[in-house]
Amino acid sequence: MQTITNILPELFLSFSIIFLLMIGVFVKKSFKLVNLLTILCLIFVSILVINQNNQSIKIFNESYIIDHLSIIMKVLTLVFSSLILISSKEYLKINNINKIEYPIIILSAVLGMMIMISSYDLIVFYLGLELQSLSLYILAAFKRDNEKSTEAGLKYFVLSALATGILLYGCSLIYGFTGSTNFEIISENLDDKNIGAIFGIVFIYVGLAFKISAVPFHMWTPDVYEGSPTSVTSFFAIVTKIAALAIFIRFTYVPFLHVIDQWQNIVIFLSIASMILGAVAAIGQNNIKRLMAYSSIGHMGYILAGLAAGTNEGIQSTIIYLIIYLTMNLCAFGCIFMMKRENIYYENIKDLSGLSQNHPMLSLSFLIVLFSLAGIPPLAGFFAKFYIFMAVIESEMYALAIIGLITSVISAFYYLRIIKIIYFDKPKKPFEETYDFGLKMTLILSTISILIYFVNPSILIEIASLIKIN
Amino acid sequence: MNFPILSAIIFIPLIGAIFILITKGPEKNVEKNSKYVAIFCSLVNLLLSLVLWFSFDASITDFQFVEKKNWIGFINFQLGIDGISILFILLTTFITPICVFSAIQSIKFKIKDFLIAILVMQTLMLGVFCSLDLVLFYLFFEGGLIPMFLIIGIWGGPNRVYSAFKFFLFTLLGSVLMLVAIISIYWITGTTDVIKLLEFKIPQDYQYLLWLAFFSSFAVKMPMWPVHTWLPDAHVEAPTAGSVILAAILLKMAGYGFLRFSLGIFPVASDYFTPLIFSLSIIAIIYTSLIALMQDDMKKLIAYSSVAHMGFVTIGIFSVTKQGLDGSIIQMISHGLISAALFLCVGVVYDRFQSRMISSYGGLVNIMPKYAFVFMIFTLGALGLPGTSGFVGEFLVLAGIFQKNILVAVLASFGVILAAAYMLWLYRKVIFGRTINSKLKNTTDLNNTEIGIFASLAFLILFIGFYPDPLFTTIDVSINNLIDKYHSNLSFYLTINSN
């Protein structure tokens, strides 16, 4: 019975998926209802998760864990997916993708992520990963009469399947050389001389790097971000990162903790490469979704820099960075959802030209979020980078810190470029005012929280300090 | 003395800015309201800072009006001032209303947004001079980039985008290294509290690198040769009020940083790198003065003269003598007033004729006699004529450096001569001579607002020139304390080394 109560959120989510599917099939034109129920379900499940026991509990033969890390990451997943659903309602309607499958597939992706986040065993982890990935393939290709969306879906499917294959091979190597799929037992049996298992670690990192789109496994990101419907892109940019990072953190700090010398260089390399590519490659982009793709690659680089530190401060700064990154991206995509004129959504940066003349408030949001993404104080993005570099410098990795800060200057250039287009250029035809209350609320809330985060920055520190390496 | 007067001074402009942002209604009313709000906020702030000055006790070495609140874990929201910072606060609160008035005169569109930017800028600049925590200092120091970028980019001249980007990226690149240094200081000493850091003796090996990281930031902002190239561009393209803020206050942040952090926290490194500072400053003084002689754009000329004048400031600071430090602070204040006035002078003719080229002017003395008169006062101030504040600063700096290094003093004095050359040349070309340009004839002289602005600036410049004593009494104790600590720290490290 104890076991059941501990996985109540997951159970509730699975049953509601089936239930919503039934409603969708049997009730005609039920998208609105299903969408609303999905949002309510996500919020309800997040309440269930928050109310879970705060002690670290392992269930199902120690293959499933509920601790601070999993609770925080699950709440983030649930809250941000519901916010994305709330803010993308109008987009779905106008682009004629308001099918009942859409929210339900999102729910199943979220279920997969929750399983991934809580997994304490290679097999459970893989099951969650597959459920999540399969849902995401469909989501990427959801606008099926659109060439680019179909291409994005296929591209993501092929590349992701390859990465998953490599990851699975890594899992089997580790199982073969340590004799168990349980994280704790793996951790006990791993040491620096276990060459086979270390190969396995490398393969697993390759698979995970693909999931969080770290360089050099980022190739899919710009295309998929550009091709998918914007609502799905925001899902990719925001929610999928949470689960992938949670399991990245879990792998790094539970099974592989004692072989830190083996993986630290890999993570540092991933981090530096992502930071540099994210900063340089985004300069030439004209599609704002592609630009956000490169921007998210760059931000993953900073997050990995925090993880590479291999300390408590490192892991906590990663969590703080992640939360701020999610809020900034939510705000940025909220702005992108506003770029609409006569039922067509515009994606080119040039379309923003002179936005400040016609839409002063929207431009102000853009301004705040772009400066925050560039990491300029006193906005939230600065604090995120500050904590990361605190951790990095504590571990005396000065080169990493300096490279990170210099790339942040380079990346400031392309954020400034958008601001330049919005504020300095000649105005074009105005966009339509949106009357979608949900979108406006999300945008306003996220902008304000970025802007006034500096008033009380210790909130996130308190949350993050719950997570410690054993 | 429980009233948090420093917080009030810092945040009143911000509150004004928020108020302007949220007012809605017919455009005309909104514009009018925002002008009143901006004037009101900046004047209240000026009054408050005067109150602060009068209640400031100049005989105490400690920081005064200290406010401390828990902020992020180890970082405290800590404010406080000593004799040095209060002068910069006064300069800021004095220059901002002038900028507001000048903006109301000359900004033609989006005046509301411009006033918001100026008020936010004021908050951030005051924050720099008040903060007693490194992270807080960095926050304010860097935050200033955002409003300044917008001021140059939105209201600037034809080449504004290039200049805005150059300004932003140069300054940001300089500052990120300072961020690394600040974090390293935290891990070395366990605190970012400036009061504690001033007592802390950072190990010698670390000091050199940390000093260089801070230097990279301040040198860009100051600006020192060879990273001064953003300044002429930014000045030329920025609207008048923007140039005034840049020249009068933003550049002084770096000087303040050198005084407070480089001398205070890293004495050994400061001593070690003094030759570097001296040579860069000498190059700046002579080289940029020569460049200034060649300019055909008035704003560019003044911008290059700013670089030269800031060279005197760095020489004065790193001479670490009483006269040198006194001189560099007076020079910063006086340059703040004079360069602001000169940019406003250019702004006056630019508003009327839309040209900054020296060649399109001439013979203005016949058409605008009042303008010619105020311009003369500021020109003479800029070249350091006795009786103006410029003389006091330059003379003391030279007196200070003479005790340290005669060669540097001799070379620096060339700067004074060159300054006279380019300033008088500018004045002759613009004010005297024949009126070639027929457009100039149909124009009006200064209006009342402009006379008010120039009169207040001229009054202060002459007042400091004739009677600088109030400034000296304010900074005296703090400067002595700074020098004493510097020398005792140096001898402390010497004894460590000899053991």
Residue A64: strand pairing partners? A59, A119
pLDDT, one tens digit per residue, over B422-477 is 989 888 888 887 777 777 777 777 888 888 888 999 999 999 989 988 888 888 88
On average, the pLDDT of chain B sits at 88
At a CB cut-off of 8 Å and minimum separation 6, what does B25 contact?
Answer: B33
Of B168, B179, B187, the CB nearest to A405: B179
CA-based nearest distance A200→chain B, Å: 36
Q: Which residues of A touch B138 (CB under 8 A)?
A: 377
Q: What is the pLDDT of residue A263?
A: 87
CA quadruple A409, A414, A417, A423: dihedral positive or negative?
Answer: negative
Q: What is the tens place of the pLDDT at every residue in B221-241?
A: 888 888 888 888 888 888 888
Amino acid at residue number B445: D
Q: Cis bond leading into A360, ω under 30°? A: no
| Total Cβ atoms within 10 A of residue B169 | 18
CB B190 within 8 A of CB B481: no
Give the minimum alpha-carbon distance from A391 to chain B in angstroms, rounded to a whole number: 9
Q: How far apart are CA A411 and CA A408, in angstroms?
A: 5
- Please report the ipTM that was assigned to this predicted complex: 0.90
| B 307-326: CB under 8 A from A | none
Task: For residue A436, give the nearest of A48, A90, A25 by alpha carbon.
Answer: A90
Chain A closest CA to B126's CA: distance in Å? 15
Neighbours of B161 (CB within 10 A): 18
Share above pLDDT 70 across residues of chain B, in percent, rounded to a whole number? 99
What are the tokens at A93? 């309607």
What mean pLDDT do residues A234-263 have?
89
Closest CA of chain A from B71, distance in Å: 7
Q: Is B191 on the interface with A (CB under 8 A)?
A: no
Contact B139 A378 (CB under 8 A): yes
**Cβ–Cβ contacts within 10 Å for residue A80, how many?**
24
Q: Is A390 on the interface with B (CB under 8 A)?
A: yes
Cα A463 to Cα A68, A69, B71, B231: the distances in Å are 9, 10, 16, 44
Which H helix or E strand runs over A468? none
Buried b (16+ CB within 10 A) or exposed e, B482-491: bbebbeebee
pLDDT in tens, B253-290: 999 999 888 888 888 888 889 999 999 999 989 999 99
Confidence of residue A17 (pLDDT cuts 50, 70, 90): very high
For A:140-199, CB contacts with B below 8 A are: none
- Output the pLDDT for position A468: 80
Chain A residues with CB inside 8 Å of B70's CB?
A: 458
Assign A121 to helix, strand or coil. strand
Residue pair A318/A388 in contact (Cβ under 8 Å)? The answer is yes
Nearest of B128, B135, B140 to residue B178 by alpha carbon: B135
Angle ∠(B106,B112,B117) on CA atoms, nearest 5: 90
The position carrying tokens 């602060």 is B52
C-alpha count within 13 angstroms, C-beta hemisphere, residue B191: 16
Closest residue in chain B to residue A457, using alpha carbons only: B72
Per-residue confidence (pLDDT) for residue A470, from 0 to 100: 60
pLDDT at B2: 67
φ/ψ (deg, to 5) at A344: -125, 135
pLDDT number for residue A318 = 92
Question: What DSSP letter does each residue of A137-176 carry, written as one string?
Answer: HHHHT-STTSHHHHHHHHHHHHHHHHHHHHHHHHHHHHHH
Cβ B134 vs Cβ B72: under 8 Å: no
Chain B, 139 to 178: residues with Cβ < 8 Å from chain A are 139-140, 142-143, 145-146, 149-150, 153-154, 160-161, 164-165, 168-169, 172-173, 176-177
- Asked if pLDDT for residue A1 goes beyond 70, the answer is no
**Residue B493 pLDDT exceeds 80:** yes
- Tell whether the model's pLDDT for residue B100 goes beyond 70: yes
Inform me whether the C-beta atom of residue A462 falls under 8 Å from chain B C-beta atoms.
Answer: no
Q: How many Å apart are CA A156 and CA A142, to the nearest integer? A: 13
Chain A CB within 8 Å of residue B72 CB: yes
Rounded CA gap, A370 and A376, in Å? 9
Indicate the residue of B139, B169, B177 with minimum beta-carbon distance to A377: B139
B-contacting residues in A 401-460 (Cβ below 8 Å): 401-402, 405-406, 408-409, 412-413, 416, 419-420, 423-424, 454, 457-458
Which residues partner with B110 through β-bridges? none
Within 10 Å of residue B55's Cβ, how many Cβ atoms? 11
Contact between B179 and A424 using a beta-carbon 8 Å cutoff = no
User: Does A461 sit within 8 Å of B72, measured CB to CB?
Assistant: yes
Q: Residue A411 and residue A415: Cα distance in Å, rounded?
A: 7
Can you tell me whether residue A64 is helix, strand or coil? strand
Best residue in B71, B154, B172, B212 for a mutation probing chain A (most A CBs within 10 Å): B172
Q: Does residue B1 carry a pLDDT above 60?
A: no
pLDDT at A302 over 90: yes
Mean pLDDT in residue range A16-26? 91
Cβ proximity of B233 and B242 under 8 Å: no
Chain A residues within an 8 Å CB radius of B111 = none
| Better-predicted residue by pLDDT, A141 or B362 | A141
A contact test, residue of B31, B176, B206, B210 with most A CBs within 10 A: B176
Q: How far is CA B469 from CA B90, B309, B377, B388, B472, in A?
A: 16, 22, 21, 14, 5
Grouping H, G, I as helix, E, B as strand and the rest as coil, residue A66 is strand
Tell me if chain B has a CB within 8 Å of the CB of A461: yes
pLDDT tens column, A175-199: 999 988 999 898 888 888 888 888 9
